[in-house]
Chains A and B, each alone.
Chain A
């Protein structure tokens, strides 16, 4: 029998597959026993009962057969038994494209429900990458990929338009708050935070930028937005193009290093969070020298540390929360958004199932870019629509821009009486900005704003003690200083300060133990505490303790302005009190 001729592209797909197989993918391709447990976990299956071509195991078999035929010994010995097969024509590649891009959002719900540990999403992503490498991809995927490769973000926002949008938001915020200090700095070196966003924010939803800026300002944060490397989304995650994944992640990391930012914060985007924080370092082949976190975590920290105040009665509409697949299922961020929600809204209702078992919005990290698959995507969205409707909520909150678009689309399609919003909007709406924040530090300082206040400075480094003592005394405070935990507790009991500034890393009793001792001492329990540390990794010394969190938290080195702003906030000294 004459061997079937293979097309050039088909051969290239097989050749490249050899390079892409790793243990995770090979394990997922080899381990499936076709038990069917994945079937009912897929929203495509649930919305298309009776159509087996949507079953994850069936979809995986489209690429598994090629693996069995070319790379697994079982396919060489018993090809009919293991259903080994190959790919020969460009038409077959097109059919594979319709499966890999059109019948799966890579939400990984089936992966979590597989008793064999098969992760179909990684197999599907590899398949997408193989197809992209020979130019077989939906037109929308090509456009978005090319924009991100060449313009630098996946929505083709030009640098000048991005900068103009930031400046516009900045000007509006400054005007609204009446505070020049609220301006958004671009490329400011040496900040605590470099804030990165989804290009959708610059293009369609700039309010999320100004809301975030408002929160950073209220928290007294030192932050900046970069002029390059600002897109923390990464279409390589969606398209399977690891090279794109590496380039995009590297842009963010290199910019943060150039600016000397101590931390990168990503706005609410599941796709961006997973690709930049979790997958990016591997794609880029870089050791990233700074922590990265979702703005959800940042906002929660600000509230818990008392750096911002929120009033939940400003958000009384019933809300529910949609877990982004990338944030939740793939990165384990379940509780933080719920903690924030419970602090900023009065009526939060869970949808069921939730957390790791929540259903995909069908926006799928980029699925909205493929208009040819919109009908089947929206059909599969019935599962999500039923979930949303059952909550009775009027607002669905999500920490993902792709999910925002996916949810808006399905809400319109299924005629649900709901709106979509994000945590940053709700936190901003609940934010209590007191007039004291508007008073320039220099003006207050001139009036000895800390007059009459008793502050205990605790630090084992003499230079730091001297520096903090001088700044606080210059502003009118009566200052006591201690070099270790025992001295701190003794002085605190003797002098009864209004505030203790507490270092964490000290010889003998560390700051965490000192803090717990303060909180558990009935005489000292209500003394306000501001942690000032040069080792942020020691935060767990504080926040893992079962006591009331500190009223403030500052990282060293601390500037005079930051120190005074925070001391005033903690001691609730407003601008009107400057006659002290």
Chain B
């Protein structure tokens, strides 16, 4: 555990790990429009989770930016994977689209009764969204969502791939009230 903050009975934490290996109810995968798992974390999901996950995705076809769908976690430790299609590569209205996809991912998890959900540092890294932008939008959206008294979510974990990702998220997390 790198950092955490409690908001009454809810908690947001930051860890550095491989998100596909987490023992958690569900995690978010930053998916592509065609919902092909592809390379990177997608490749790890395929190899560790087995072929059924890609099979399950067939029924959704292609989806628009901002949308999110859910599959099982296959043979992974996580029960569900939320496939969320976010903005990429300096796309127009990055912040608006990132907020929308984060919110939809939360709602997808909620619909499955998830209590512990992990997010990657949404859109950073390969897709080039700056860390500070991702931290501000995703943590802000998550905090807002958790403030809703109706949610069953108890904990959201931000799973950073690298140590460089931690500080921007930690800074924003500390600023949240």
Spell out A's residues near B (CB within 8 Å).
8-9, 12, 16, 133-135, 142-147, 149-152, 156, 158-159, 243-244, 246-247, 250-251, 254
B160 → chain A closest CB, angstroms: 11
Count contacts between A and B, CB distance < 8 Å: 62
When distances are taken between beta carbons in the complex, the residues of chain B under 8 Å from A133 are 89-90, 128
* Of the residues B48, B126, B163, contact of A146 by C-beta under 8 Å: B126
Pairwise interchain contact B164-A147, C-beta atoms closer than 8 A? no
Query: Is there an interface contact between B18 and A159, defined as CB atoms closer than 8 Å?
Result: yes
Give chain B interface residues in 16-71, CB to chain A under 8 Å. 18, 38-44, 47-48
Chain A residue at minimal CB-CB distance from B89: A135
Verify A146–B128 contact, CB threshold 8 A: no
The verdict on A150 contacting B41 (CB below 8 Å), with A8-B92, A133-B90 known, is: yes
Tell whether, in the assembled complex, residue B44 and residue A158 are in contact, meaning their CB atoms are under 8 Å apart: yes
Q: How far does the alpha carbon of A158 sit from the alpha carbon of B161 in the complex, in Å?
A: 14
B116, CB-defined interface residue at 8 Å: no
B39 and A146 within 8 A (CB): yes
* Contact among A9, A134, A149, A251 for B126, CB-based, below 8 A: A149
Contact among A9, A12, A156, A246 for B39, CB-based, below 8 A: A156
Beyond A134-B89, A150-B125, whether A250 also contacts B164 by CB under 8 A is yes
B47, closest chain A residue (CB)? A158
B38: contacting residue among A135, A143, A159, A243, CB under 8 A: A143
Please, which residues of chain B bring their CB within 8 A of the CB of A142? Answer: 39, 126
Contact of B162 with A by CB under 8 A: yes
Chain B positions within 8 Å of A156 at CB level: 39-40, 43-44
- Given the interface pairs A158-B47, A159-B18, the reply to whether A146 lies near B162 with Cβ below 8 Å is no
- Per-residue 0/1 for B142-163: is the Cβ within 8 Å of any A Cβ (1 yes, 0 no)? 0000000000000000000111
Residues in A whose Cβ lies below 8 Å from that of B99 = none
Q: Is there an interface contact between A150 and B128, defined as CB atoms closer than 8 Å?
A: no
B44, B47, B90, B163 pick with most chain A CB within 10 angstroms: B90
**Which residues of chain B are near A159, meaning CB under 8 Å?**
18
| Residues A151 and B162 in contact, CB atoms below 8 Å apart | no
**Can you offer 9 A-B residue contacts whose CB atoms are under 8 A?**
A16-B90, A133-B90, A133-B128, A134-B90, A147-B43, A158-B48, A244-B126, A250-B162, A254-B163
Per CB-CB distance, the 5 closest pairs between chain A and chain B, nearest first, are A150-B40, A135-B89, A146-B40, A146-B39, A149-B125
B83 to chain A, nearest CB (A): 15
| Contact pick for B164, options A12, A134, A143, A247, CB 8 Å | A247
A134 to B94, CA, bound (A): 13
Whether B41 lies near A151 (C-beta < 8 A) is: yes
Say whether B97 faces chain A, with CB atoms less than 8 Å apart.
Answer: no
Taking the closest CB of chain A, its distance from the CB of B77, in whole angstroms, is 13
Residues of A within 8 Å of B162, CB to CB, are: 247, 250-251
Shortest Cβ distance from residue B58 to the other chain A in the assembled complex, whole angstroms: 21
**Closest chain B CB from A380 CB (angstroms):** 27
Q: Are B89 and A151 in contact (CB under 8 A)?
A: no
Chain A positions within 8 Å of B43 at CB level: 147, 151, 156
Shortest distance between the CB of A93 and any CB in chain B (Å): 12
A135 → chain B closest CB, angstroms: 4
Assess whether B40 is in contact with A147, with CB atoms less than 8 Å apart: yes
Chain B hits for A151, CB < 8 A: 40-41, 43-44
Chain A proximity of B85: nearest CB distance (Å): 14
Name the A residues within 8 Å of B89 (CB-CB).
133-135
